[in-house]
Amino acid sequence: MKLLRYGIKGFEKPGVLDDQGQIRDLSGYIDDISGSALSDEAISNLRKLDLNTLPKVAGNPRIGSCVNHVGKFICIGLNYADHAAEANMPVPEEPIIFNKWTSAISGPNDDVEIPIGSTKTDWEVELGVVIGKAGRYISESDAMDYIAGYCVINDVSEREWQIERGGTWDKGKGFDTFGPIGPWLVTRDEVPNPHKLGLWLEVDGHRYQNGNTNTLIFKIPEIIAYLSRCMSLQPGDIISTGTPPGVGMGIKPNAVYLKPGQTMKLGIDGLGEQQQFTVAAK
């Protein structure tokens, strides 16, 4: 199933995409795409619905982030060897963990704000993993059972604040609008092999990133098991698994960064596409 949230920001309703690509309203069955609605049992109950009997959503409504009430937005850094090389950083021996603040979360097609004074705002297409049930000290062999589904994420990053201002990466990762998520949460049964997905990103029609999740250094079961040793994982937590090469920071001889008035377009096989327009923050 392709679950989504649609409507005015802050007032989104739960929905599902039918076989014809039409949004159907799920608000008669669940309150939101979050928490308990992400359990195996809840998703199984939704799967039993005849989507053709659900109310059609008219027009082309705004699409919100595909998960609401996200508790933790966890990211894995340098998880593609060729991206580590372009960043002039060693391939990590253990997963590099950082966070995006949940206030950064936005819809997949909402505007992305270039922070005031920023000259180094960058793009990163990433595979997102949405946790469906709580767990800690999870084994790699059981890890995939804790996944509700997958989604597209743009891990927008301000490199000066991330790298040059001291402290952790988190500062450059969590600006408002720096976490577009969606358009859909694609349930795990529709993604038989998340380690074989093409992912790409373009800016103003130029393709900068063109990778595949088959080159992830740390695979998803290892990531989940590792994180669950550091923290408990809860339904609705999101893990962004890293970006392939082609980010603006890595372009030689001169890095390329975003400025207001540009269009980013990105996608992952089977998980949909995003498109954001960049604007100056006020």
Which portions of the chain are predicted below pLDDT 50?
none
Q: What is the pLDDT of residues 114-172, one digit of tens each?
A: 999 999 999 999 999 999 999 999 999 999 999 999 999 999 999 999 999 987 899 99
Distance, in Å, from the CA atom of 48 to the CA atom of 226, rounded to the nearest integer, reads: 34
- Residue 82's pLDDT is 78
Query: How many C-beta neighbours within 10 Å does residue 66 have?
Result: 32
Q: Give a yes or no: residue 115 inside a domain.
A: yes
What pTM did the predictor assign? Answer: 0.96
Tell me, yes or no, whether 213 lies in a domain.
yes
**Residue 262 maps to a domain:** yes
For residues 265 and 68, give the distance between their C-alpha atoms in angstroms, rounded to a whole number: 23
In a domain, 54, yes or no: no
Question: Dihedral angle at the C-alpha atoms of 227, 233, 236, 241, nearest 10 degrees?
Answer: 10
| Tokens at 272, concatenated | 């949909």
Residue 12 maps to a domain: no
| Total number of domains in the chain | 1
Structure-token match 């991206």, residue found? 83
How high is the pLDDT of residue 16?
98
Residue 49 lies in a domain: no
Query: Please, are residues 77 and 243 in contact by the beta-carbon 8 Å criterion?
Result: no
Question: 260 lies in which domain range?
Answer: 67-280
Residue 94 belongs to a domain = yes
Our CA angle for 181, 182, 187, nearest 5°, is: 120
Q: Residue 84 has what pLDDT? A: 77
Output the six-digit token pair for 52. Answer: 């053709």
